[in-house]
Structure 1
Amino acid sequence: MARPSILNSVERKFILLLGDLLIIIASLNLLINHAIDEEYISFNLKVFVFAFGISTYLILSYILDFYNLERAARKRYVFSQSVYITSIFVFLVFLFTVLTYDVSFWRIPLLSFLLLTPIEIWLWRFLFTNLFSILPTVKKVLYVYDGTNEDKLRDNINYINGESTNTFYKVKLTFSIADENSVLDKKTFKEALEKVDTWILNIRDYNDISKELEALLLDSILKGKEVVSYTSFYESVYEAMPIRSHYHSFYELLQLKNRKIRYLQVIFSYLVNFLLSCLVGVIFFLACPVVWFFNIFLNRGPLFYSQLRVGQYGKEFKVYKFRSMIVNAESEGAKMATKNDNRVTPFGKILRVFRVDELPQILSVIEGNMTFIGPRPERRIFVDQLDEITPFYSIRHLYKPGITGWAQVKYKYGEDLQDSIRKLEYDLYYIKNKSITLDLRIIFKTITTVLFSRGI
């Protein structure tokens, strides 16, 4: 008898989004067709209020991370997050309607829209949380690997099970195809396979799979079980590339062969750089006298700090920042900045919290050495060390470095070389999947970081 399929994280998010959208559409319908006096209603009003309402809700949900399944599963956050985000939504829609159209409202339907929408979203999410606490939530995994990756077995299993991220997968059975004492013919192994939902294959050469294992794998596929490579799993769940498994060639990992030139992406990148250069340039020149004034009293020394960084194709260039550390901070040698670095001055901490210290990098963008979105540039001394540790590090120099990037919005503040390697996984994911959609996600995440002073 086939076991009921278990929904993965994407499917769960879709169900949660679908329920939210049904409530949002019903609420907008209440506002437009019942709360507004019908003599003011027009086709134009209906279209624009609906469009504004749905787009506003989706943007707010993305910026405020409303579809983070780990948060959605914590019952103590369901009420506060639902009411907070949905209250902002109904207020913005009401404000848009009043400022854009000359309308009058019926009080009770209007109050129902303003008050009931947050409550309905909360009740739906409360139901969603309790429903998935009862239903099976984790896929049982058979992890198949070869002997060349034996030393990475524990780390790879930990990534499948999830460390800080809830992957909804759990390794229940492992099998090495290099094991001479094959257990494929044993009844206990085949019985164990019946309880497995997913096969995750981490194999260098698929020709090494025996006929017996291949037959079992095919039988599992025919029974509707999931079969994926470790790279596909890792990329889907973590939105990064698994460079630590060392199981994939340069071309397989990045799919650099025969890549088409995406002209729309090039045009979009150019427009983003131009528009943001104008916007950030104005903010930078307005901030300069303010930072200079406080610098005299709270951060004595030079206003700017410059440093050589490695850019596109490995060429060095000079990057500029507002100085946030003490003078001669590296008198004892090069050292990576840490989250609670004692070299940072009190005023420098304020600059860093609101990312003001990063503003002078606009000069590097104007010079053409940097772009807004891309891998963060690193110093030559650290690049050389990282090149020795991992063979993939210099791949990030295929693109111009950026002020912000996928690694910055997805991973914590990097404090050592191991953090830099982990960030490389996100940089490679960006290089492989670079698109307009991904760039927009990075821009929204960066805005959230600046507005809410979140650490990257």
Structure 2
Amino acid sequence: MPKPLIFNTKERKTILVLGDLFIIGSALNVFMNDALDVKVENILFRIIFYISGTLFFFLLSYVLNFYNLERPFKTRLILSQSFFIVGSFVLTIFIGTVLFFDASFWRIPLIIFLFLTPLEIFLWRYFFGNLFKVIPAIRNVMYVFDKEIDDDHQKYIDQIDGDGMESYYKTRLTYSIDNVTILERKKFMDAMDKIDSFILNIPSYDQLSPRFEKMLIEAILKGKEVLSFTTFYENIYEALPLKSHNDSFYELLQLKNGKIRYLEALFTFIVNWLFILVVGAIFIFFLPIVFVLNLFFNRGPLFYTQKRVGQYGKEFSIFKFRSMVVDAESTGAKMAAKNDARITPFGKILRMFRIDELPQLISIIKGDMQLIGPRPERKIFVDKLNEITPFYSARHLIKPGITGWAQVKYKYGENLEDSIRKLEYDMYYIKNKSITLDIRIIFKTITTVLFSRGI
């Protein structure tokens, strides 16, 4: 009897989106046809209303992380998210219609739209979450590794199993490359009945014997998944595993520098200048306020400047409003920590609302930085990190940014180990840089600023 189909994360998200789309479309239809006191006969207006309303819902859901299936399923979280996000959506539609169209409403259909829509989304998501407790969601894994160089065997297994998040993979069998090479075909076929995916973490595929390669081909023909550890890690964590031994240099550095991407360059140019115009106005507004408050609560220079390493390893000056004590590095260079004792009380306020970051606008205008890219680091730390990992210099292939994939995906970096973890996300960004990924970063940055996450 064939095993039931296992839905991967993208397939589950697609099902979730389709359910949301049906509910939101039905809700907008109730609002348009039943709640409004007048009939809207203009077909074009109706189409624009449905499309813009649906896009607004999905934009709001994305910014507020409503489609994060990697988190464990919790009813309380689903309930609070459903009523907060969908409640914000229906209220915005209602208030916007009142303000711009001075419309009147039928009471009962309006109440159904305002209160039943969040409830329907909650019930759908509750059903969805419990559905995958019945339908198989976990892919059982055979993990193949090289015991000669696998110095942290359990770490890789933990990463396959989720490492604090839902990966939807579970390691059931582990074989060293030596043992799997002599694995009997009958044992392999018996194991294959219990396995959905094979993940290989070895320095070179030349280590695979022709016999085992044939077995893997048989597995593929039976619908099994065969992945390198790097591919698995990149798909699940949206980062590159720099410490993996898996065909390291070529597989990790398949960077797309050979392509001329005019649309991406144009998009970056437009985004940078929109940022300069918008944030420039905010910077001019806050400059006199910070200047005056700095005289009383943060005595010393208004700005601080520091050398950072930029594109192609060239140093440049970065500017910020000073948030630390004047002699913050009297004992030597030290990475900033989230609750750093050197931050002044007024500096904490500046950092809380990201006001200290505003002067970095100057670096964008000078052409040393852009909005999106790896965060620039100081040379002293760059030199240390270059000694630890040979990949660190690759992040200097593009201009550094004020925000980036590492900033929205990983916690505040406080030490060299955190910098290496952030490098995994920077490398993923460099390898997969696209307009779509940049838009995701912009939306996630908005979430980060609004809810004080990350960065």
1:153 aligns with 2:153: yes
Alignment of 1:277-292 (within 5 A): 277-292=276-291
User: What residue is the counterpart of 2:402 in the other structure?
Assistant: 403
1:167 aligns with 2:171: no
- Answer whether contact 1:375 1:401 (CA < 8 A) is retained: yes
| C-alpha deviation, 1:251, in angstroms | 3.8
User: What residue is the counterpart of 2:19 in the other structure?
Assistant: 19
Alignment of 1:28-427 (within 5 A): 28-71=28-71, 73-101=73-101, 103-147=103-147, 149-179=149-179, 182-185=181-184, 187-256=186-255, 259-427=258-426
- Answer whether contact 2:78 2:122 (CA < 8 A) is retained: yes
- Answer whether contact 1:141 1:171 (CA < 8 A) is retained: yes
Amino acid paired to 2:53 = G
1:21–1:305 distance in 2 versus 1, CA, 3 Å = same
Amino acid paired to 1:162 = G
- Answer whether contact 1:45 1:101 (CA < 8 A) is retained: no
Amino acid paired to 1:376 = R
Alignment of 1:409-448 (within 5 A): 409-448=408-447
Distance 1:278 1:302 in 2: 26
Distance 2:348 2:256 in 1: 45
- Answer whether contact 2:199 2:229 (CA < 8 A) is retained: yes
- Answer whether contact 2:181 2:212 (CA < 8 A) is retained: no
Amino acid paired to 1:313 = Y
- Answer whether contact 2:142 2:171 (CA < 8 A) is retained: yes
- Answer whether contact 1:72 1:129 (CA < 8 A) is retained: no
- Answer whether contact 2:201 2:245 (CA < 8 A) is retained: no
| C-alpha deviation, 1:431, in angstroms | 0.4
Distance 2:274 2:60 in 1: 22
Distance 1:230 1:72 in 2: 23
Q: Which moved more, 1:64-73 or 1:443-452?
A: 64-73
Amino acid paired to 1:139 = R
Q: Number of paired residues? A: 455
1:228–1:197 distance in 2 versus 1, CA, 3 Å = same
Distance 2:48 2:124 in 1: 26
Q: Alpha-carbon deviations, 1:43-66, whole Å to 9, x = none?
A: 132122112211110111011000
> Matched residue of 1:73: which SS?
coil
- Answer whether contact 1:338 1:413 (CA < 8 A) is retained: yes
- Answer whether contact 1:40 1:102 (CA < 8 A) is retained: no
1:387–1:65 distance in 2 versus 1, CA, 3 Å = same
| C-alpha deviation, 1:362, in angstroms | 0.5
Identity %: 59
| C-alpha deviation, 1:188, in angstroms | 4.3
> Matched residue of 1:275: which SS?
helix
Q: Which moved more, 1:203-212 or 1:6-15?
A: 203-212
Distance 1:42 1:102 in 2: 17
Distance 1:115 1:241 in 2: 44
| C-alpha deviation, 1:182, in angstroms | 4.7
Q: Alpha-carbon deviations, 1:97-128, whole Å to 9, x = none?
A: 33343543222212211111011001111111
| C-alpha deviation, 1:153, in angstroms | 2.5
**Structure 2: where are the runs of 5+ without partners?**
none
| C-alpha deviation, 1:81, in angstroms | 0.9
Distance 1:407 1:173 in 2: 32
> Matched residue of 2:324: which SS?
coil
- Answer whether contact 2:319 2:363 (CA < 8 A) is retained: yes
Q: Alpha-carbon deviations, 1:378-406, whole Å to 9, x = none?
A: 00000000000000000000111101110
User: What residue is the counterpart of 1:453 in the other structure?
Assistant: 452
Distance 1:258 1:358 in 2: 30
> Matched residue of 1:54: which SS?
helix
